[in-house]
Amino acid sequence: MFKQTKKNIFVDENNKVKIISSKSLFSKLDKSCIEQLYSISKLPGICDYVYGFPDLHVGHGVPVGSCFVVDADNDPIISPKAIGTDINCGIRLIRTNLKSKDISEKQYKEIVKAFEKLPIGLSKDGIKITKQDLKEICYQGLEWAVKNSYANKFDKLYVDRQGCFRDASPKYLSKTAIEKGLTQLGTLGQGNHFIDLLVVDKIFDKFFCKRHKIEKDQILIMLHTGSRGLGYQVADEFTKKCKHKDPIEYLYLNSKDGSHYYKTMCAAANYAFVNRAVLSKRIIDALENALNLGHGTINARLLYDCSHNFAKIETRNKKRYLVTRKGAIRGIISERLSDHSEFLESGTPVILPGSMLDDTYVLLPKEKMRKETFSTLPHGCGRVMSRDKAKSKISAKDLKQKLLKKGIYLSGHSENVLREEQPAAYKSSKVVVDSVVDAGLCKKAFSLKPKVVITG
């Protein structure tokens, strides 16, 4: 049984699970999600609530849109199953100097054609790298992209942990993981991974938008991808090494396998940061070509790159915790940032994508979030329909026509994926966002409307 303790905050009677949700979303929540949250609460060493967010939906052992915390100094556990197969899957949002009026409908069609040629789906057409490159990517993260002209030196200021997890080591990567890493750098993947061209619609926080050069009708690029086959291989192999499987597979962090997994997970996370940086450059090049612009004409600047599948050591009140977020984003309030942070006045932005038809929101964390949800916010809308059911409801042709009537151009590598990712498969982004805003956890900075949607 749950009781509502504060607006949009529900806590179970045993104080084990806390769910952030509007009443309407909570009433429709799949009971299997709650069962999965309770299951996580039985893991050894849990020292806080197990959290669920408005985008909560059933996952593989662990619901997507959840977070849990263990004491990092008391024989902590780490779960490859909970973190999942797409280590450091994340969202990147890039500002451009283009306005919606700069692009004609004919040019949007050319952009779609150009984006269709990008390495989307389960592509192996990554940039050419050597094994030495892969080793450096896994150790250095985004610094490798800077050195090799796939990012600029300022980009690191706009990336979670400056694009590098220092505990990373590729030493324990398998031959298969290495092979996948060598062929997939700068590729999108499939499923819910996407590339969007968005138009700024509403400005809510004028100070933030002025500070970060966000204007109404401005074109932004958003992409959603992670560590690709390398991350999948790491998760799969280490999940199989878990001797502890109840309630889900886990390792003790201080064990040999646990330590190796943590270092390898960090390596996969660094690969994901570079994958997003490389893919960003390929997208911008494709956009310039589609618009017949010279190289470097589009002034593209990263707004933020945030992760949502990871386990991090975090300190609170001088105590260390291992925080696992599955389909959830860490928000850092301004008081917890260094004096050199680009987000010192606002806290780090949290990017919450909408469906193909819905608005995307950029949110700013508030102090209450740190206290109520261990500095965590939702990462998206959350599914309300299974992939099979979504696919059965509409054809790819009808879906494209439906979006085109709204002025949105849709394409992708797979028609089946298009149908699986159709708008009706997801909760309303407005309802999800209002759930956390009304709970006092964050505020809106600005919103964007989709114009071009490319799925994997």
The domain that holds 24 is classified in CATH as 3.90.1860.10
Helix (H) or strand (E) holding 278: helix 256-290
Cα(309)–Cα(265) distance, rounded to whole angstroms? 10
Q: What is the pLDDT of residues 22-78, one digit of tens each?
A: 999 999 999 999 999 999 999 999 999 999 999 999 999 899 999 999 999 999 999
Beta strands in 327-384 (DSSP E): 328-330, 350-352, 360-365, 376-378
Q: What is the pLDDT of residues 149-162, one digit of tens each?
A: 999 999 999 999 99
CB-neighbour burial class of residue 243 (10 A; exposed 0-12, middle 13-18, buried 19+):
exposed
Give me 186's structure tokens: 């700068």
Given a cut of 90, whether residue 272 has pLDDT beyond it is yes
| Average pLDDT for 266-283 | 98
Phi, psi of 251 (to 5 degrees): -125, 155
Beta strands in 73-158 (DSSP E): 77-78, 90-99
- What was the pLDDT predicted at 343? 98
Given a cut of 90, whether residue 195 has pLDDT beyond it is yes
Q: Please, what's the largest Cα pairwise distance for the chain?
A: 62
Give me 296's structure tokens: 């470097």
Number of domains present in the structure of the chain: 1
pLDDT band, very low/low/confident/very high, at 418 (cuts 50, 70, 90): very high
pLDDT band, very low/low/confident/very high, at 10 (cuts 50, 70, 90): very high
Task: Give CA angle at 145 (258, 454), nearest 5°.
Answer: 90
By three-state DSSP, how is residue 309 classified?
Answer: strand
Give me 244's structure tokens: 């502890």
Q: What is the pLDDT of residues 205-255, one digit of tens each?
A: 999 999 999 999 999 999 999 999 999 999 999 999 999 999 999 999 999
pLDDT band, very low/low/confident/very high, at 350 (cuts 50, 70, 90): very high
Enter the pTM of the model.
0.98
Any idea which residues carry the catalytic annotation?
Answer: 379
Q: What is the pLDDT of residues 82-125, one digit of tens each?
A: 999 999 999 999 999 999 999 999 999 999 999 999 999 999 99
CA dihedral 51, 52, 53, 58 (to 10 degrees): 150
Domain that holds residue 446: 2-455
| Closest by Cα among 381, 379, 425 to 66 | 379
- What was the pLDDT predicted at 154? 95
Given a cut of 90, whether residue 266 has pLDDT beyond it is yes
CA dihedral 137, 138, 143, 148 (to 10 degrees): 0
DSSP symbol at 163 = G
pLDDT band, very low/low/confident/very high, at 274 (cuts 50, 70, 90): very high
- What was the pLDDT predicted at 296? 87
Give me the count of residues in the chain: 456
Q: Is the dihedral of CA 262, 264, 266, 272 positive or negative?
A: negative
| Average pLDDT for 397-408 | 97
Inter-residue contact 194 to 454 (CB < 8 Å):
yes
pLDDT band, very low/low/confident/very high, at 139 (cuts 50, 70, 90): very high
Q: How many CB atoms sit inside 10 A of residue 15's CB? A: 10
| Closest by Cα among 314, 210, 215, 226 to 270 | 226
Name the average pLDDT for the chain.
Answer: 97
Cα(120)–Cα(414) distance, rounded to whole angstroms? 9
